[in-house]
Structure 1
Amino acid sequence: MQVGVTPEETAVLIRWKKRADNYVLVRMKAEAILYASRGVDVSIIAEMVERSVKTIREWLAGWRDSRMCSVLTGHAGNQNAAKLTRAQKEDLKAVLAQPPSQSGIDAEFWDVPAIRDEPDSQRFADADIHVTDSVSEQENNSSTIKTNRTMSNETFVAFATQKGGIGKSTVTALAANYLHNVKGHNVAVIDCDTPQHSIHGLRERETGLIGGSLYFKALACDHFRKIRKNAYPVIASDALNALDDAERMLAEEEVKPDIVFFDMPGTLKSNGVVKTLSQMDYIFAPMSADRFVVESTLQFAVMFRDNLMTTGQAKTKGLYLFWTMVDGREKNGLYDLYEDVIAEMGLPVLSTRLPDSKKFRRDLSEERKSVFRSTIFPMDASLLKGSGIREFSEEISRIIRPQ
């Protein structure tokens, strides 16, 4: 009773068969399907996985009907994918129920080779990205920044993604806050996320609150005395002019930043995004455990790596993905399945996963004394605990190694 298995599916099944966790039934089913794909007799398969012939036939029939989806079921004492929530299982079913597509951009989640094989020009044209034009434009209009950056030690870091609403600006502000106020690095933020300019807007609101309150003025002065420096600069810009604005800021600031963070727009279609990203030393791309967010993030990461990093058109030394907006009720199995595929694509994922927490939106206010998201004050110690921001920022710091 032989079954058909594509090379992509074979690679995934082999990984699942080798899993060292408690997904017992998943491993058994993966092994049985792999044997059947090679023409091994059903009775022999039954002996090898210690299941009845009837059960093996049912597994193979399920494979024919729903492919990968049939491997992830809710049996064996709830020791496999049944640990996921109902919504998560339905999401995975929708992804895994079909064999990998060969259409490239429209491929299902497991179609890693198809994404890699898609012609570069097609993928960038679909996203309205013109790589050659963008790089040429940067060389013509912003050539000075390349020379200046070669002679200096600041590190350019961008938080970028194709999806909005994923908490990119908040993470930028929190990482900058921690590295500036706790780690002691000199940082700056170029807010390119026009028109909302969330980080620059936050700085303006905080400045207004401090200007109108003796309490906040005293608090700010005390903080600056303790860290022996002022608040880091926040520059409102856009993706097209971000590099020029960064150059002017570096020339004007008496205290030169070790790290310059760029908060990028939530779409690659904005003018200048590719040009600016190509000059980053490091890029960090947030994603949540949502199929569409993951697919979009992977498309962005693969396209940027294959078209700019590997061709030498980008200065970028590293591109990393990280999980954000993690629901504490979600089980690790969902993320492990995603990360198996991401690893196959050769993309690194940070070990720190940021939770979905209301404290991330706790700004400076006259009504409350403790603050978490701020461009001036350090995060409240009690709020910092359990937020993952300390671990996340420390992990980033180890990667970029600012001077």
Structure 2
Amino acid sequence: MTTASADGIAYLDLADPAFDVTSDVVHRARQANWYARTPYGWAILRYDEGTAILKDRRFQQGNARWPAQNGIDDGPFAQWWGETLLSLEGTDHMRLRRLLGPAFRSRAIERMRPQFQALANELIDAFAARGRVEFISEFAEPYAARILCLLLGLPDDEWSRVAHWADDLGKSFGIRIRRDLPRIEAALAGLTGYVEQVISDRQAHPRDDLVTTLLLAHEDDDALTRRELSVSLVFLAFAGMETTRNQLGLALQTLLARPDQWALLAEHPELGGRAVEEVMRVNPTVTWVTREAVEDVDLDGLHIPKGGIVQVLSHAAGTDPRAFGPDAGIDLAVEHRPLHSGFGGGVHHCLGHFVARTDMSVALPLLARRMPGAEPDGPGEWLPVSGNTGAVRFPIRFRAAVAS
């Protein structure tokens, strides 16, 4: 539902599963004003204001209050959520971020590019000659989950089990979180138990993987505690798998709607990195980025009291014609675009963004080259276009290609 108050400020019902944050309703609200009201605080609709808020030290990450906003005040999920990097602030946040950093340096991730390429080609080989694919189950999910296993040093044949837990735990970012809480907490217990076994194994038998790096990267008086490592690895497992899988599906949705862009990417694989940035700008899986005011804030006529919540709507900001011109759609030929908010911003900028950028920039050009003439094969099945969104099923047909 969308209404307007006497002052002309729109109300956007983000809590309604049928509400689409990429709709014309949101675009009209953006044209009328830079913010709107929602059940979750104010929605920031324009690029300049949204970018400024993400960098403004008068705001902190607002996700810590997400469980409570949905009536979840205690229990294992609420406790775990409050301990994740996403929820911590100040010195606790900076310390944990510094200790986790060595595992996510760009050089370390870039060295894995050939392995990402080999995995993508292996998955495409299984359906290239068929000319049809159910993209999520046959590519996006196994690709994201197996890369996660590669990073963590887990057996490759464990990917489906890890993916199942990660998928259920990923429902914590959805607007139906309260309904899904039993599945979320069961997945949290399963994934935590599995991660604990991995940590114990790496303590006894170090390997060249992310878990061992985090165990050995710091002196004993400045190390991650066992609980911090466990919480962080569980969060990485579900966030890294779910967001990459979802973003790949949304990337194909976006690119297939522009056959010229799909063909351009196939011809110029060096545009893979730019394709990632463009699809995350216009069709992000993270549809809003949350911030909480730590003091009273006045911005261009809007008073946000201490504790007030704002949601920077990623698509609305990323397609704002004031920043991107009247035709703000995807265009791989444009060399420089303002930064999107798909990875957040400020001190809470996504720690794993190098992983996501690298694995998707590898996959998209290979898919474009080996799936010529690709187009949706029916409507598919999609999550609500709010919270964290993406495809559940996305069938695609294309001209059968020769396996490379």
Q: Same fold (TM over 0.5)?
A: no
Structure holding more strand per residue:
2
**Superposition TM-score, scaled by structure 2 size:** 0.29
**Superposition TM-score, scaled by structure 1 size:** 0.29
Give the greater-gyration-radius structure (CA).
1
- Bigger relative contact order, structure 1 or 2 (CA pairs below 8 A, ≥6 apart): 2
